[in-house]
Structure 1
């Protein structure tokens, strides 16, 4: 059972789980929090942590097991436009209207890198992390595409998008394999190929594209402002169009042959994807204006109806937790008996520093350090 997590314009984070009862698909709300004091702009999930950024200049980190705030990061001085965990879950990258990109270590939540003027001081619009976790791409108000080396912890190269006829880029996303990425700008969706270091295909839509969701390295969905969805295959010049919502398609997420879509009016829909067909499974209205969605794939973190558990099942859970303690699943807390299990160092991304003052870890600045607010009753994960 997966859990759909939704961010809203009203500042709420909402959770929904899709389940089947008596042969009927149902969507049940699992949690609701109001941690942000203004609109939620972006969300990202890694392990048991969910990070959300908003127009209140805060990054809220939610513990998906306890469903309460784990920590609040207040290192930006402007709206948080983008948050992205590395695929290994070791770091969190955030971009803001203040023009900076910050790399934060997951667990102790200390800044490990600050690119203060990542896009020449202009707002950072969106960040995409490569599946290898070795590099990230960002777009911003300076109309450039910038590549960041996450192994060395420094910028790699810059592409002037204006010279290629691309203005006001709003979203960038990698394909599952990482060799392609999509870039939205005005009426166009451009597909770039990293191995060829250039533009591979341009799709011009009859309505402004709002978001892209890759299904495979060869196929992607494009959500439009008129409520339609365009299905594009790289090996095929013809695109298919589906009617998804009455209002603008605000965000999309694809997982396990299911497409999750949300409209700007708050309508949430779940679709079955197979053989070039979309079949609606369920829909519900969140009664809020949806701004972003993601999926919590760890079903053991989804709150279920209380049930009586015997001693035998508890012992089985303990054994399973011990067996997985050396894997990535060790990020998730097990029963109280195994909370003392020590987590192995699992840093996938290494951030190094040079002698320049700007490249020194910002966490050494006492003024910066005070801005990371961790509730006294919550301990940071080691």
Structure 2
């Protein structure tokens, strides 16, 4: 790969402070968590350390076949427990475990780490690995199974804006520097730098097959990347700067989110099949499936999650928080009766983390009760008492 002679090993950041310590309350919480046996312990860098990518301005080379990202054969099976990982303005990384006890879901902290020297802007989980990105321009890596910090990746020259794992094998990262990096989790080798955007990359998403990726940018473009060749497949203009991009679980459709609207696409079609217009600022969005149908869930500034059909029809909304919603994610979970359901995790600016049953959310907006604004209760809630910024829900590997 170009610039291999300039590669350097990633170093484990020993200093976690930029001279502005977190609020006393956050420091106290972090101290308690890191002292507990369940907290993720820092360690020396992993045996296989990351190396720097080619410097800006160097040409993008073709991705060799032997390091092409493989397709996922099967999805990871749902477990009885799950993990909600959330980043904060206070530079803390939270890990909240969801577990059923006597039939009731509980949310309890597994770890609280002073992870960065800047605000955490992105977080992603893939199998045993957890990654967080920050305004400090670095990506922190953790092995959740061994409960150790692996080190840091310093490939970008700007705020990390988006992280996305493909299964357990690869990690994609995006930044305000306009670049997208592909890392191999086996040794955290930076395999490729994708350059195509002229502005900050806002969001990235990998197709469930692992063969394609989408990225949207402040330069008002969306790029479809062929991950088998490491080349740009297509580049299209968007009506405004894109902020969110997400695939449906089956990979048959995807969405592009803007400040107050969402465009819905079907694979193979260049024009959106539907456009959703919102009166509220859209902060986060996901695509979920329930009983064979696809729905778009959008968390907005008015504290509600709005639910739309794939045809763009607004089905209703649920008041989920007392402050603006900052993030939304989902994971399949095995319930006590052995049935599998999708759990939706939402976070708000006031520090609340809540878990919802997708079944309840969809059935509610489809029922007459939604017209009376009788909102449902979450399965469980946890108050982190900090300013939350981003979230990802994943199968729990602690148990």
Per the TM superposition, whether the score is higher than 0.5 is: yes
Is 2:345 the counterpart of 1:260? Answer: yes
Matches within 5 A, 1:6-17: 6-17=86-97
Is 2:275 the counterpart of 1:202? Answer: yes
Matches within 5 A, 1:265-276: 265-274=350-359, 276=363
1: CA distance between counterparts of 2:227 and 2:312? 34
Deviation (angstroms), 1:118? 2.5
Question: In the alignment, which residue of structure 2 is the partner of 1:353?
Answer: none
Is 2:311 the counterpart of 1:239? Answer: no
Whether contact under 8 Å (2:221, 2:241) holds in the other structure is no
How many aligned positions are there? 294
Is 2:389 the counterpart of 1:291? Answer: yes
Residues 287 and 234 (structure 1), Cα distance of their counterparts in 2 relative to 1, 3 Å cut: same
Question: In the alignment, which residue of structure 2 is the partner of 1:302?
Answer: 398
2: CA distance between counterparts of 1:70 and 1:131? 26
Q: State the SS of the aligned residue for 1:211.
A: strand
Residue 178 of structure 1, aligned match among 242, 251, 257: 251
Residues 245 and 135 (structure 1), Cα distance of their counterparts in 2 relative to 1, 3 Å cut: same
Deviation (angstroms), 1:279? 3.8
Structure 1 vs Structure 2 CA RMSD: 1.7
Could you report, residue by residue, the CA deviation over 1:261-320 in whole angstroms, capped at 9, with x for unpaired residues? 11121111111232513541221211111111112303xx326xxxxxxxxxxxxxxxxx
Question: In the alignment, which residue of structure 2 is the partner of 1:137?
Answer: 214
Whether contact under 8 Å (1:261, 1:270) holds in the other structure is yes
Question: In the alignment, which residue of structure 1 is the partner of 2:126?
Answer: 46
Q: State the SS of the aligned residue for 1:168.
A: coil
1: CA distance between counterparts of 2:311 and 2:377? 24
Q: State the SS of the aligned residue for 2:121.
A: strand
Deviation (angstroms), 1:24? 4.6
Question: In the alignment, which residue of structure 2 is the partner of 1:281?
Answer: 379
Q: State the SS of the aligned residue for 1:139.
A: strand
Residue 98 of structure 2, aligned match among 18, 28, 31: 18
Is 2:177 the counterpart of 1:98? Answer: yes
Is 2:193 the counterpart of 1:114? Answer: yes
Q: State the SS of the aligned residue for 2:391.
A: strand
1: CA distance between counterparts of 2:314 and 2:259? 21
2: CA distance between counterparts of 1:192 and 1:73? 33
Deviation (angstroms), 1:255? 2.2
Question: In the alignment, which residue of structure 2 is the partner of 1:313?
Answer: none
Q: State the SS of the aligned residue for 1:53.
A: strand
Whether contact under 8 Å (1:134, 1:151) holds in the other structure is yes
Residue 213 of structure 1, aligned match among 268, 282, 286: 286
Whether contact under 8 Å (2:275, 2:312) holds in the other structure is no
Q: State the SS of the aligned residue for 1:199.
A: coil
Whether contact under 8 Å (2:330, 2:392) holds in the other structure is no
Question: In the alignment, which residue of structure 2 is the partner of 1:169?
Answer: 242
Residues 168 and 236 (structure 1), Cα distance of their counterparts in 2 relative to 1, 3 Å cut: closer
Is 2:104 the counterpart of 1:28? Answer: no
2: CA distance between counterparts of 1:239 and 1:79? 36
Deviation (angstroms), 1:175? 0.6
Whether contact under 8 Å (2:345, 2:393) holds in the other structure is no
Whether contact under 8 Å (2:274, 2:311) holds in the other structure is no
Is 2:146 the counterpart of 1:59? Answer: no
2: CA distance between counterparts of 1:232 and 1:109? 38
Q: State the SS of the aligned residue for 1:77.
A: coil
Question: In the alignment, which residue of structure 2 is the partner of 1:323?
Answer: none
Deviation (angstroms), 1:31? 0.9
Question: In the alignment, which residue of structure 2 is the partner of 1:224?
Answer: 300
Could you report, residue by residue, the CA deviation over 1:349-371 in whole angstroms, capped at 9, with x for unpaired residues? xxxxxxxxxxxxxxxxxxxxxxx
2: CA distance between counterparts of 1:135 and 1:296? 21
Question: In the alignment, which residue of structure 2 is the partner of 1:150?
Answer: 227
2: CA distance between counterparts of 1:270 and 1:94? 26
2: CA distance between counterparts of 1:70 and 1:106? 11
